[in-house]
Amino acid sequence: MILHAIIGMILTALIAGLTIYAMVHSTTEKTNPLKLISEITVLVLLPIYGFMLSFDECGEHPFNLKDKITPIVLFILPMFSYFISVGFKDKLPPLLNAILPIGLIIGIIYCIILTIHFFPFMHIGLIFPLLGLPLFAPAFSLMLLSSEFIRLHKYQQSQFLEQLKKSTSAQMSLITKFFGSSFWFKFPIFLLLCSPVIVIIQGILFLFGQRPDSLISMFTESCGFLLSNHHSCSCGGDHYLCSIAANGNTKLVKPVRLGLRQNEKILVNRQLLIANAFENWMEEKTPSLHKVIRKTYDSMGIQVNKWSKKRKIANIIYILMKPLEWFFLIWLYTFDKKPENRIALQYLSKKMYETFKNKHHGN
């Protein structure tokens, strides 16, 4: 674990260094190989690798599995805008040069949202660099896109100010005045211009089978990340009432960690841990009674699996289960010698279970 963390920190620092190197070197250095390597690594390779890891149906996925095309399109647009701006802005016709900042700003907005979406899990990149490094890609891309946007602004300002001196047309004079104006005057206007462009992009995506709100649902209908509505990403294992309740609103149900059930990851909160600890106590102390209760519960055939992704239902179940949670807790504190140890042992891997049990001398 320590070795992984050291490797992760080294790789992250290396990519951060490459990103800063690309930021500070002028776009006139088009033949600089190190700068090109850094740009390709941050803007192309890391995102592509991240997309390869992003569509696991039975694990955490940062994008909605039904809207796979949307995040990819939003990645391609600013990437091309960046490389066109770096390499060809001095060769582009005036109109194309004028709309180029919109692609960069869309990329900047996208990277800000992704950075927020990934932020609570970025430490994974330090512990497991091969899996977690793509989580840093939006933050590094944001640095490059912002830097290039500022450079493009300076280039446009100098070019259009020269044209302003030569222009005799009133319309051209107005256009050149806009592009020759200050950064803080232009930026909010470009930001507003992004709105109709985003609407057009959404319309095109809809024609290609994406949902009409895919620019939003690709985040909200993802699983396991900050902007996700779903935090239980497992495909396997049967759900029970308390495991459904653990997927409710985080401020209400207060999840504490991930746990393992039938080798599948599930989200656990204290209510679920207490309920399972009570069942574990019954199984250990009164196995015959436990078998009858478990068989009776299973034979009722309560169709709870279909509720596993419905947060409002989970909230209601959590509240309804509260009296039982208190009963289970009182029972454990009355009849179990080390109730908190038993509670903490629930839904751990076999190795973690044995380590914890040995450390705390069992129940």
Tokens linked to 193: 């211009």
Give the percent of the chain with pLDDT over 70.
71
Please state whether the predicted TM-score (pTM) of the whole model is above 0.85. Answer: no
Going along 7-127, which residue ranges are E strands? none
At 300 the pLDDT is 46
Question: Cβ distance 306 to 239 under 8 Å?
Answer: no
H/E segment holding residue 236: none
Q: What is the mean pLDDT of the chain?
A: 79
- Per residue in 313-338, pLDDT tens? 778 888 888 888 899 999 999 999 88
- Per residue in 41-99, pLDDT tens? 889 988 998 888 787 665 678 898 888 899 999 999 999 999 999 888 888 887 788 88
Handedness of CA 190, 111, 250, 62 (dihedral sign): positive
Question: Cβ distance 309 to 244 under 8 Å?
Answer: no
Question: Cβ distance 54 to 80 under 8 Å?
Answer: no
- Per residue in 179-204, pLDDT tens? 666 767 777 888 888 889 999 999 99
